[in-house]
Amino acid sequence: MSEGSKGSSLAFGQVVIGPPGSGKTTYCHGMQEFLGRIGRKVTVVNLDPANEVMPYQCAVDIAELITLPDVMENLKLGPNGGLIYCMEYLEANFDWLQEKLAAFRGHYFLFDCPGQVELYTHHDALKNVFTQLAKWNFRLAAVHLVDSHYCTDPGKFISVLCTSLSTMLHVELPHVNILSKMDLIEQYGKLAFNLDYYTEVLDLSYLVDHLASDPFFRNYRRLNEKLVEVIEDYSLVSFVPLNVQDKESMRQVMQAVDKANGYSFGDQENRSLEALMSAAVGADFHFTSTLAVQEKYVQSQERAVEEEMMDL
C-alpha cells in the first residue's frame, strides 16, 4: 500500500461516522458478523481513542498509538479538545497506520470513528486521514449513523438533515446516511408522517407546517423555511433504515454501501448471502423486519382514528 503505487491492489471498506450514541460500535460489530457469515474477510479498525469497550474483534486499535485519557491528563485538555488532538496526532503518524493496515492486505475494512460532530463538519484532521487512505488505494464509503428517535421531533430532524448535509460536503466521500436503532423507534413516540417521508426526505414544507403548530417554533418559521430550502437545493440527503439485528435490514445497508464504494460481489459471496437470507425466515430469526415498522404505524394510526370516531 505504498503511496502513489499504481500496481497495488484496491482495498474496500467503510468509515463509520456519526454523533455519540448513534450506534457506530454496535454497527461495526453487527456488520463484521454479517459480512463474515457470507465469506467476506473483515478487518475492524478502531480510530476512536475514547473507545474502551469494543464488542467486535479489533485488528488495529488507535489505543496502541494514543488514548484520550492520556491526552486529557497530560495536556490538561477536555474531551473535545483531546479528541481533536488525537486525530491530529494520528494524521502526523500515517506511517504507523500504514504499517498496521498492510498486514491485512485483501481484507474488507470497517473504520470505527470518533463521535465528535466537529470532526466531520469543519475540522480537517480526520478528513485528511480519509484522503490519505484513498492515496493508499482504499475505496471507502462514509456510513453516517443518526439515531432514528430524531424523526419523532420535527425540529431535531431538520437539525439532523443540516448536520448530515454538512458532513457529506466536508468529508467528500461516497455517503450512505443511516437511521439507526429502528427496532426501538416505536418507544420514542408517534411519527408525524410515514417512515418513507423521513428516509426519502420528501417535501419538507410539510415539516415546516408541522413545526408551525408549536408556539416556540412559530417564531422561527422563516429560518426553518430557509434551512429546508438549503437541504432541498442540494438534494443529497436521504436515509436507509437500519435494525442491526435484522438480517434483511443489514443486507439492504450492505448493498447500499457496496454500491457507494464500488465493491462487487463474487459468486461465492452471492451464494453465501442467499443461504444466510433463507435462514432468516427460519427459527433463528426473531426480529420484525424494519420494513414492517411503517406498516405498524399505519395500522396504529388507523386504529386511533377508529377509536376517535367511536367516541364521537
Counting the structural domains of the chain, the total is 1
Cα 71 from chain centroid (whole Å): 27
Tens digit of pLDDT for each residue in 138-163?
Answer: 999 999 999 998 888 888 899 999 99
Query: What pLDDT score does 220 carry?
Result: 85
Going residue by residue through the chain, which has 312 residues, state the pLDDT in tens, using 9 for 90 and above: 444 444 468 899 999 999 988 999 999 999 999 999 999 999 999 999 998 889 999 999 999 999 999 999 999 999 999 999 999 999 999 999 999 999 998 999 999 999 999 999 999 999 999 999 999 999 999 999 999 988 888 888 999 999 999 999 999 999 999 999 888 877 777 787 888 888 888 888 888 888 878 777 778 888 889 999 999 888 889 999 999 989 999 999 999 999 999 987 665 677 677 777 766 554 344 344 444 555 555 555 556 656 666 666
Domain that holds residue 112: 11-201+237-272
Query: What pLDDT score does 297 carry?
Result: 52
Written as one letter, the residue type at 29 is: H
Is residue 84 domain-resident?
yes
Query: What pLDDT score does 293 carry?
Result: 54
Query: Which CATH number do you get for residue 139?
Result: 3.40.50.300
CB under 8 A, 24+ apart: contacts of 117-122: 117/19, 117/163, 118/80, 118/84, 119/83, 119/84, 119/87, 120/17, 120/144, 120/166, 120/167, 120/170, 120/171, 121/163, 121/166, 121/167, 121/170, 122/166, 122/170
Q: Which of 261, 265, 266, 264 is nearest to 133 (CA)?
A: 261
Query: How many angstroms separate the CA atoms of 219 and 216, rounded?
Result: 6
Query: How many angstroms separate the CA atoms of 119 and 83, rounded?
Result: 9
Query: What pLDDT score does 33 carry?
Result: 96
Query: How many angstroms separate the CA atoms of 14 and 256, rounded?
Result: 11
Contact 224, 217 (CB under 8 A): yes
Grid cell 463484521 in the structure block, residue:
32
Rounded to 10 deg, the angle between the 94-102 and 125-135 helix axes is 40
Residue 153 grid coordinates: 421531533
pTM: 0.82
Query: What pLDDT score does 265 carry?
Result: 62
Cα angle 15-204-115, degrees, rounded to a multiple of 5: 25
Q: List C-alpha distances in Å: 196 to 151, 165, 176, 247, 289.
A: 11, 19, 16, 20, 15
Is residue 206 domain-resident?
no
Computed from CA positions of residues 83, 89, 95, 100, in that sequence, does the dihedral angle turn out positive or negative? Answer: negative
Q: Which of 240, 231, 212 is nearest to 148 (CA)?
A: 240
Query: What pLDDT score does 185 carry?
Result: 79
Is residue 87 domain-resident?
yes
Q: What are phi and psi of 97, to 5 degrees?
A: -65, -40
Is residue 25 domain-resident?
yes
